[in-house]
Structure 1
Amino acid sequence: MDIAGRPHRVYVEEAGPRGEDAVPLLLLHTAGSDGRQWRDLLNDADITRHFRCIAFDMPWHGKSSPPAGWQEEDYRLTTRAYTGLVMAVARALRLDRPIVMGCSIGGRIVLDLAAEHAGELRGVIGLQGSAFTGSYYDLSVLHHPRIHGGEVCGAMVSGLIGPTAPEAAKWETLWHYMQGGPGVFRGDLHFYAEEGDLRGKLARIDTARCPVALLTGEFDYSCRPEDTRATAAAIPGARAVIMPGLGHFPMSENFAALKPHLLPVLEEMAARG
């Protein structure tokens, strides 16, 4: 497919019905990882019974390679490029007003999608979503010739996982980070911690046209509960839910604990038609 004027190959997985009654649910993974984070949701019968669940790997991530010529450039994700990517994928798959749900960087970009593309969406859900974070550690260590990139990426996010996460799910989440391409996590955080400040756009979001729900785990020092509450308070009609026991990766670290909070939100958005 074409993304910003360049040919790309984008890897997509999906589960659930594809008929007219199925509600498209487009899933956005976190910085530095890939669509495997949605493995439990894609296997959940209560969700896939009514929702066409679609997870794709962003270019440079997972099974989506960088575009030709990548060796001559530094990967840096921006708000404009990220929103353009999501809408390009939705249009390429001919999705009719999908619900878009993302986590971390995905939980941030859904706010821009709601502000810029409300008429093309049924609603947005931000897991660990807030309008601004800022940089709270030296990002250069994530791409340094004397530091093992995969191991330092896993180490950086290990403290963001909630204490209730099952051991197997915790370490699988970290393994995905350890497999990221050189500099990709750093490039994603250019959006998350530097360029992607969306506080100025929140007043433009009309939740009557595009509902907004923000679900945040209580154990997260990256997107803190108070950050999510402040973001929701700046969007009239937005919903904020703080989830006990969960951390920064609720869909992969402990989907069973996320599901009771998520399913009612999905059903409510789907019922809007």
Structure 2
Amino acid sequence: MTKHDPITGRYIYLTIDDIEYRVYYEEAGQGIPLLVGHTAGSDGRQYRHLLCDDEVTKNFRVIAFDLPYHGKSLPPYGVRWWEKEYNMTKKFMMDFQLVLSKALGLERPVYMGSSMGGHLAIDLASNYPDNFRATISVEGALRSAAEYVDVGMAGIRKEFDNPNVNRTSIGAAMMLNISPYSPEANVREIQWEYSCGGPGIFAGDLYYYYYDHNVSAEEASKIDTSKCMLYFLTGEYDPNTSPVDTKIAADLVKGSKFWTMEKLGHFPVTEDYTEFRKYLLPILEEIHQASETRAVA
């Protein structure tokens, strides 16, 4: 018997800052909309196991997108994008979620993102609490560690956007961020995905990750979890955003919840989804129950 995944893939046209983007997304399930954002330099393939998880999709409509310039979302047609340096910004990251949600007719979706996407979960809860019922920050923090911040974008591009260095080196570099407990097949999959990106995209994404995302203690303390609940999940083997870094954010956001994920690193969704879902499912159940309570009220 032929085997298929229960996933539907489509393209949607979104206009952001007067530029039309042809955006690819995959979805599965029904119920509460759950937007899932990928890491810097990768794409929505990271969520393939989540999209096939019946325990999730029975109550959630999971939507995994490829940001413009990532995966199947090609650079915008009719724009001379190759003539300027690519840098992802906080404004574009937030605007994309709002425009996509509106285009798909989503009513206060949940947003979950990892790494770069995990940072965004904090920015959305801070800036758009009325647009999201909850956000889940996976490997997120108030700001990124100073390792690359100190070398500047020139240093980042020298390492990750260098025509003298084969693109597969980016995939190999991700080994440093992965838990030693991860199955080898999953490690190879992460390397594969990171070897597939367009030139300069991973480096440009790091502009948001290291520079444009910078939440102050005052901003974090003002996040209203009664409007938009904020959850934090961070792997114990993440060298980029350690559990200590994430806990600093969680301690400042009154009412938020934080877990350290054992045996997981910077890419928990892909490293070992079976382990990751142990932490995710209780969060989704809490969101589902809260939504049911509001509906009855």
For normalisation by structure 1, the TM-score amounts to 0.95
Does residue 66 in structure 1 map to residue 75 in structure 2? yes
Preserved contact between residue 61 and residue 181 of structure 1 (Cα < 8 Å): yes
* Distance in 2 between residues matched to 1:25 and 1:221, nearest whole Å: 27
Of residues 152, 158, 164 in structure 2, which corresponds to 1:146? Answer: 164
Residue matched to 2:295 = none
CA RMSD of aligned residues (A): 1.1
Distance 2:132 2:192 in 1: 33
Deviation at 1:155, TM superposition (A): 2.4
8 Å CA contact 1:4, 1:84 repeated in 2:
no
Tell me which structure has the larger Cα radius of gyration: 2
Structure-2 residue corresponding to 1:5: 18
Pick the aligned partner of 1:92 from 103, 109, 118: 103
Q: How far apart are the structure 1 equivalents of 2:99 and 2:175? A: 32
Tell me how many residue pairs correspond in the alignment: 268
- Return the letter of the residue paired with 2:124: L
Contact 1:133 1:192 in 2 (8 A): yes
Match of 1:243 among 261, 277, 297: 261
Q: Give the gaps of 5 or more residues in structure 1.
A: none
Which structure has more relative contact order (CA 8 Å, sep 6+)? It is 1
Which consecutive segments of 4 or more residues in structure 1 shift more than 4 A? none
Mapped pair 1:102 → 2:113: yes
Distance 2:238 2:100 in 1: 29
Counterpart contact for 1:134–1:192, Cα < 8 Å: no
For 2:197, the equivalent position in structure 1 comes to: 180
Q: In terms of mean alpha carbon deviation, does 190-199 or 3-12 score higher?
A: 190-199
CA contact (8 A) 1:134 1:194 kept: no
Please, which runs of 5 or more residues in structure 2 have no aligned partner? 1-13, 149-154, 292-297
Deviations 1:144-163 (A, max 9, x none): 12111x22211222111111
Percent identity of paired positions between Structure 1 and Structure 2: 40
C-alpha separation in 2, matches of 1:116 and 1:193: 19
Is 1:225 the counterpart of 2:238? The answer is: no
